[in-house]
Amino acid sequence: MEKEDSNGDLEVVYSPVSIRAEPSVAWVDANVSRKKTEAYAKAYLEFLHSDQPQETMARHGYQPINPGVLRRYTNRLPHLFPITIIARNWDEAQEKFFSDS
């Protein structure tokens, strides 16, 4: 959620606790082989996990996976807990908390 501070600037407001959701990045052998993009895909994945994009993610409120970057932003990011605290997996959590029943 964003809110405006007394200077008229927007600031990000976090819930004190949140579930860790980890979007996946996939390498699909058939796709990269067919399109001859193995080198591009590898370079992207290596870059994504390097310090620069991890710092950018943290500055914009996303939880970095790089432990060093995470330590530098711990005071600005919410405490996250794994889904396994409340359910066996994401499918069970979806059914338990978001199904029609």
Q: Quick one: pLDDT at residue 6?
A: 67
Reported pTM: 0.59
Please count the other Cβ atoms lying within 10 Å of the Cβ belonging to residue 98. Answer: 7
Q: How far, in Å, CA of 56 to CA of 48, rounded?
A: 10
- The per-residue pLDDT for 21 is 67
- What is the structure's pLDDT at 80? 81
**Alpha-carbon torsion angle 32, 34, 40, 46, nearest 10:** 20
* Rounded CA Rg of the chain: 18
Instruction: Tell me the pLDDT of the chain (101 aa) as tens digits.
Output: 555 566 777 777 777 767 676 667 888 999 999 999 999 999 999 998 899 999 998 888 888 889 999 999 988 887 888 888 889 998 998 899 888 86
Domain definitions of the chain by residue range: 2-98
pLDDT of res. 10: 77
* Pair of tokens at residue 19: 């579930």
Helix (H) or strand (E) holding 17: strand 17-19
